[in-house]
Amino acid sequence: MPLLLGAAPVRAPRVVSINPCLDAILMHVADHAQIVAISSYSHDPRATSIPLAQARRFATTSGTAEEVVALRPDIVVAGGHVAPATVAALARLRVHLVQYPVSATVEESAQQVRDVAAAVGHADRGAVLGARILAAARPATGRRIPALIYGAGGLVPGGGTLPDDLLRRAGFANASMIYGLQRWDVLPLEYLISRPPRVLLSVAAAEGGGERVERHPALVRLGRRIMVAPFAARLMNCGGPAIIAAMARLRDVHAEAAR
């Protein structure tokens, strides 16, 4: 009877990421030895979605076709918007590019995590992380409190965005509709002051630039009618594992506002 030898283990694909949100997912679902390079944004304190100390263990790329090809990856993961010239160059050189659009809901983000994990050979890890995300974002019940996420330059996430879904699941009503905002839109501070929400989730307050919002005379006069709560940009910019931290922060703010 012949001796049956086990097949040689399949080598995990070498991965390059050119998107900071996908960098964060890879940290959870890929072996670190697989990750050839991550997005250069992840080395920028203002743009990273992962701890800088962790990000700096990896090489980075700006995402040009020349840089990516030189790294000799098996797979490149990217967001939905990649320069057409880069897409064409990677296709011509037979570099496998997988693009993932921006998720608009928690369910879409959890599925994206599972898809990325499967693409890098670790579907089991994606299933675990996806389940953690869905558990963290379990919808709250009870009274909804009007709230607005106010980002840099007055950027506000409206309906049909992932932050909108997070607000709803945490027990808030997204106040963006009061101002007629669409998806991602800009709200001048003057409009915010004229009709403030019950809770203002301020990115500036979380990142050391909140004095203009928190100390504006009109907001100060509102006193107890409005709550200004710091909300880090990294909790708004990406889905994936960031949802877990974002939901924890939103639930804490909701509990405080509901007292």
**In a shared domain, residues 19 and 128:** yes
Q: What is the pLDDT of residue 178?
A: 93
Q: Among 147, 172, 170, which residue's Cα sits nearest to residue 226? A: 147
**In a shared domain, residues 83 and 111:** yes
What DSSP letter does each residue of 83-96 carry, written as one string?
-HHHHHHHHHTT-E
The Cα 107–Cα 104 span in angstroms is 9
The Cα 204–Cα 228 span in angstroms is 11
**In a shared domain, residues 159 and 122:** no
**In a shared domain, residues 192 and 240:** yes
- Name beta bridge partners: 100: 79
Neighbours of 59 (CB within 10 A): 14
Pick from 135, 154, 179: which residue ends a domain?
Answer: 135
**In a shared domain, residues 46 and 129:** yes
Q: What is the pLDDT of residue 11?
A: 79
Q: What is the pLDDT of residue 210?
A: 52
Q: What is the pLDDT of residue 2?
A: 45
The Cα 22–Cα 238 span in angstroms is 9
Neighbours of 228 (CB within 10 A): 19
Non-local CB neighbours of 192 within 8 Å, separated by 6+ positions: 148, 150, 154, 179, 200
The Cα 251–Cα 255 span in angstroms is 6
- 185 lies in some domain: yes
- 1 lies in some domain: no
The Cα 209–Cα 186 span in angstroms is 18
**In a shared domain, residues 100 and 167:** no
The Cα 11–Cα 234 span in angstroms is 33
- 8 lies in some domain: no
**In a shared domain, residues 128 and 182:** no
**In a shared domain, residues 130 and 181:** no
Coil/strand/helix, residue 186: strand
Q: What is the pLDDT of residue 211?
A: 53
Coil/strand/helix, residue 79: strand
Name the residue range of residue 246's domain.
Answer: 145-257
Q: What is the pLDDT of residue 46?
A: 84
Contact 45, 77 (CB under 8 A): no
Pick from 89, 110, 135: which residue ends a domain?
Answer: 135
Contact 212, 188 (CB under 8 A): no
Pick from 78, 104, 135: which residue ends a domain?
Answer: 135
Q: What is the pLDDT of residue 259?
A: 87
The total of structural domains in the chain comes to: 2
Q: What is the pLDDT of residue 8?
A: 47
> What CATH number is attached to the domain comprising 119?
3.40.50.1980
Instruction: Please work out, in degrees rounded to the nearest 5, the angle formed at the alpha carbon of residue 205 by the alpha carbons of 201 and 207.
Output: 115
**In a shared domain, residues 129 and 162:** no
pLDDT in tens, the chain (259 residues): 444 445 445 778 999 999 999 999 999 999 999 999 999 999 998 889 899 999 999 999 999 999 999 999 999 999 998 989 889 989 998 899 999 999 999 999 999 999 999 999 999 999 999 999 999 999 999 889 999 999 988 999 999 999 999 999 999 999 999 999 989 999 998 898 889 999 999 987 777 655 555 566 766 665 567 898 999 999 999 999 999 999 999 999 999 999 8
Neighbours of 85 (CB within 10 A): 10
**In a shared domain, residues 179 and 238:** yes
Q: What is the pLDDT of residue 36?
A: 98
**In a shared domain, residues 158 and 241:** yes
**In a shared domain, residues 127 and 222:** no
- 35 lies in some domain: yes
214-225 as b/e, with b when 16 or more CB fall inside 10 Å? eeeeebeeeeee
For the record, the structure tokens of 44 come out as: 């920028």
- 201 lies in some domain: yes
